[in-house]
Amino acid sequence: MRKVMQVIVSMMISAVMSGCGTSREDIGEMVKKSMQEYLNEDSGYQKYNLKVDNVLVFKNSEYDYKGCAKIIYKGSSHFVIVEISVNDDAFMWRAPPGEFMFVAQ
């Protein structure tokens, strides 16, 4: 099986993130959508039919967050840690190496 790769995705979202700031819930929804799009489109993950159920987000610092994504695979829940960076008009998420190893079991 091919080695599980690190996931780095960024998306411009200036309309959503402008103003007073973005809530942890909003960030979680944006990361959920971005993760699902990535898992649906990436040739290494498409075949597994992974579903992102939700992403809980916890603030580390002004721009950095940690998240826990609940992924459904073959009817079972798996939890994936994600690192999230946010600024005024963009965000980026990253799953550290090994977080998707459950697909290899």
Structure tokens at 70: 């609940």
Contact 89, 30 (CB under 8 A): no
Give me the pLDDT at residue 72, please.
98
Provide the 8-state DSSP code for 20. S
pLDDT at 70 over 90: yes
| Stretch 80-93: mean pLDDT | 93
2-14, pLDDT tens digit by residue?
333 333 333 333 3
Give the whole-number percent of the chain exceeding pLDDT 70.
Answer: 81
Give the whole-number percent of the chain exceeding pLDDT 90.
Answer: 74
User: pTM score, two decimals?
Assistant: 0.79
Structure tokens at 99: 């977080």
Domain boundaries, the chain: 7-104
